[in-house]
């Protein structure tokens, strides 16, 4: 068999697997994988610098299947090229506990770089990876960082609004070495894209400043595909879009260019017909001849040689290896936390301003730090003193200006973190976390080490009114698994929260105030309490008759109310009152039962105080001073007073609770 014939057989084997796995699962998307088999073949065997025996090699090329519904294409390549998947794994496609879930999941399957599926997110991840590669190359040199990012995207990716934001940002930043192949197959689930889509995509991307090539009917022409990819790889100052007109489901006689081929198995009869056309045994499923497998497994020794060459360069590299190791760990250098400032009791400082002081004090000791915001750089505390702007002309800049692009910022941050070498910090107003939510969810699912500064965290922001005042966001984001949400009570708790974010893994969000808050007694020494999610900040008398539990800007109100109750200054009998600072539900929930009971004794009535919806507080409190409606436009202190966030009202509500008044529900 000639080399050309062997390669063609390999491509047809990929198409066979693309049909067989969805058929076996009775679920899946065969058509795109069938059409793009030649492209995947070219990428994995001729273009990508990758080592299947070491999928985490730092200087490997990155590949993102933004069209994650075509996951069987990626799984087939990972099996064939030796990433550890087996034919049995392909047979278990989309089944419980398998390594081949319906959409690719990072950390779950070796060789998967990012979790994709929600369309457009992988597109944004790729921009983040491209930015990370260029920034690291600028900082550490091309001897140790010198690779490309490849992305396959679809019509659906480009329809989603996030792709517009991310593409505009990539073009503005001049991110070369970013190679996107647009699978222009004209088909979505509803049918032909002409139902809803008539964009001139090449013109759109050219307007963004991308290098664009129309490859036309070249989906089966491996030489044309390789040449176009290599031309795009040579682009150092522009991202590239290669527009490939493919035919979904090709060469199925019945389902080529149909929506049926997009989202459903083809059926046994049609699969047999296609296999006859391709020269595959029509009566065999998951057929991979030895010569094909041997051909693809040649990627392993080639990749090992590339990696070993890099390792020799790295070993001889005279750069700062302590900085390198810290950057790739996503953490600070040893002892970085000793640079954290301590704030004086009684000082008045907004936590969004405190976090800037914390960031400035430690930035030089966190080598991978890239800080940015969606047009709110100074407002959200992410502005670095002396931090140069990231730009096409200054690719080593640490300050990223995302523009008014929260969607793209969130996805790019996830891409940076999963690329490695970067700890991305991104800021916006808390209410606009709604714009970031799909990306935040995927960051949580991916356990991506990112940090969000979400500021202007309550109705206390004031005059901008209900459109800008978050109400339901705390409860909504607390419902998201694997997201660490911390709402610090003052500047010292903010410093502790930053330490947890940097030293931790996965995504952390700091929810910060616009308005000044007093620095409270006891918080400077409370790192362990913040680490545990909730702790006893102050107590008048023992044993407590009442617990006041507050978060963020409401903790100082709880302290003042506790003073009224303890002294009887509100007109009632003096009470023994405990004040609990409760910065993080997520951290508290994983503490041992005895610790949680020691903070919130089950037999002691608890009143929670938080300037947000009361939803969910029944698990920790018997009643809540909260807000179950939208806010109002007025000065922040006025809004807070009118809505009951005063020591006097909290004290009155506490008396009602003790007298047997309204309860939110059974505590758990």
Q: Which residues are catalytic, by number? A: 406
Using CA atoms, how far residue 190 sits from 195, 260, 263, in Å, is: 8, 10, 10
DSSP 390: P
Mind giving me the DSSP string for 154-197? EHHHHHSHHHHHHHHHHHHHT--SEEEEEE---EETTEEGGGT-
Cβ–Cβ under 8 Å, residues 181 and 242:
yes
In order, the DSSP letters of 584-597 are -HHHHHTS-HHHHH
Q: Are 629 and 645 in contact (CB under 8 A)?
A: no
Distance CA 30, CA 222 (A): 20
For residues 497 and 530, the answer to whether their CB atoms sit within 8 Å is yes
Q: Alpha-carbon Rg of the chain, whole angstroms?
A: 28
Measure CA 3 to chain center: 42
b/e map of 371-386 (b: 16 or more CB within 10 Å)? bbbbebbebbbbbbee
What's the per-residue H, E or C state across 132-157? HHHHHHHHHCCCCCCCCEEEEEEHHH
Which among 356, 407, 408 has a CA at the least distance from the CA of 383? 356
**Phi–psi pair at 518, nearest 5 degrees:** -70, 145
Q: Residue 98 corresponds to which tokens in the numbers above?
A: 């398998």
What is the residue whose two structure tokens read 């792709």?
163
Residue showing tokens 């909730």 = 534
Which residue from 379, 358, 486, 487 is spatially nearest to 428, judged by alpha carbons? 379
* Cβ count within 10 A of residue 594: 7
**Counting Cβ atoms within 10 Å, is residue 12 exposed (0-12), middle (13-18) or buried (19+)?**
buried
Confirm if 414 and 408 have CB atoms less than 8 A apart.
no
Residue with token string 């996030």 = 162
Helix (H, G, I), strand (E, B) or coil at 473: helix
């Amino acid at each position: 068999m000639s080399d050309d014939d062997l390669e063609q057989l390999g491509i047809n084997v990929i198409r066979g697997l693309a049909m067989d796995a969805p058929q076996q699962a009775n679920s899946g998307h065969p058509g795109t994988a069938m059409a793009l088999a030649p492209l995947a073949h070219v990428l994995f065997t001729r273009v990508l610098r990758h080592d299947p025996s070491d999928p985490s090699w730092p200087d490997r090329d990155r590949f993102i299947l933004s069209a994650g519904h075509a996951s069987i294409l990626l799984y087939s390549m990972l099996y064939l090229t030796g990433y550890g998947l087996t034919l049995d794994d392909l047979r278990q496609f989309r089944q419980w506990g398998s390594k081949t879930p319906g959409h690719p999941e990072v950390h779950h399957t070796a060789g998967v770089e990012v979790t994709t599926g929600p369309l457009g997110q992988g597109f944004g991840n790729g921009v983040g990876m491209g930015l990370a590669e260029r920034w690291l190359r600028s900082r550490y040199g091309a001897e140790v960082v010198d690779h490309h990012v490849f992305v396959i995207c679809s019509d659906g990716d480009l329809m989603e609004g996030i792709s517009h934001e991310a593409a505009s940002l990539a073009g503005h930043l001049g991110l070369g070495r970013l190679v996107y192949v647009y699978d222009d197959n004209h088909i979505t689930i509803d049918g032909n894209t002409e139902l809803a889509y008539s964009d001139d995509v090449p013109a759109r991307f050219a307007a963004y400043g991308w290098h664009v090539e129309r490859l036309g009917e070249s989906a089966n022409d491996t030489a044309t595909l390789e040449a176009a990819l290599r031309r795009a790889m040579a682009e150092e100052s522009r991202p590239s879009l290669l527009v490939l007109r493919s035919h979904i489901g090709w060469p199925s006689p019945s389902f080529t260019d149909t929506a049926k081929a997009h989202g459903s198995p083809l059926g046994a009869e049609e699969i047999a017909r296609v296999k006859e056309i391709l020269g595959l045994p029509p009566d065999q499923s998951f057929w991979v001849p030895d010569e094909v497998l041997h051909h693809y497994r040649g990627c392993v020794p080639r990749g090992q040689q590339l990696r070993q060459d890099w390792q020799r360069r790295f070993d001889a590299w005279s750069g700062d290896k302590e900085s390198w190791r810290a950057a790739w760990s996503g953490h600070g250098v040893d002892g970085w936390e000793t640079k954290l400032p301590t704030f004086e009791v009684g000082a008045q400082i907004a936590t969004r301003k405190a976090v800037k002081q914390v960031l400035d004090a430690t930035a030089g000791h966190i080598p991978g730090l890239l800080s940015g915001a969606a047009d709110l750089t100074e407002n959200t505390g992410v502005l670095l003193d002396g931090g140069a702007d990231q730009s096409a002309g200054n690719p080593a800049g640490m300050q990223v200006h995302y523009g008014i692009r929260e969607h793209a910022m969130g996805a790019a941050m996830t891409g940076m973190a999963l690329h490695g070498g970067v700890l991305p910090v991104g800021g916006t107003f808390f209410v606009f976390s709604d714009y970031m939510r799909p990306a935040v969810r995927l960051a949580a699912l991916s356990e991506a080490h990112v940090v969000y500064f979400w500021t202007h965290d309550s109705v206390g922001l004031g005059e901008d009114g209900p459109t800008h005042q978050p109400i339901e966001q705390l409860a909504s984001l607390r419902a998201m698994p694997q997201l660490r949400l911390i709402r610090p009570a003052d500047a010292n708790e903010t410093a502790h929260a930053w330490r947890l974010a940097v030293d931790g893994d996965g995504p952390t969000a700091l929810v910060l105030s616009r308005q000044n808050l007093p620095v409270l007694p006891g918080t400077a020494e409370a790192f362990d309490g913040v680490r545990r999610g909730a702790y006893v900040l102050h107590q008048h008398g023992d044993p407590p008759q009442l617990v006041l539990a507050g978060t963020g800007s409401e903790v100082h109100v709880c302290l003042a109310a506790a003073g009224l109750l303890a002294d009887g200054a509100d007109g009632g009998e003096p009470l023994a009152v405990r004040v609990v600072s409760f910065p993080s539900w997520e951290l508290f929930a994983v503490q041992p039962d005895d610790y949680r009971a020691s903070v919130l004794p089950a037999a002691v009535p608890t009143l929670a105080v938080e300037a947000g919806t009361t939803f969910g507080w029944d698990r920790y409190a018997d009643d809540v001073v909260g807000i179950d409606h939208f806010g109002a436009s007025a000065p922040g202190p006025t809004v807070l007073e009118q809505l009951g966030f005063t020591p006097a009202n909290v004290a009155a509500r506490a008396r009602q609770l003790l007298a047997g008044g309204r309860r939110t529900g059974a505590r758990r």
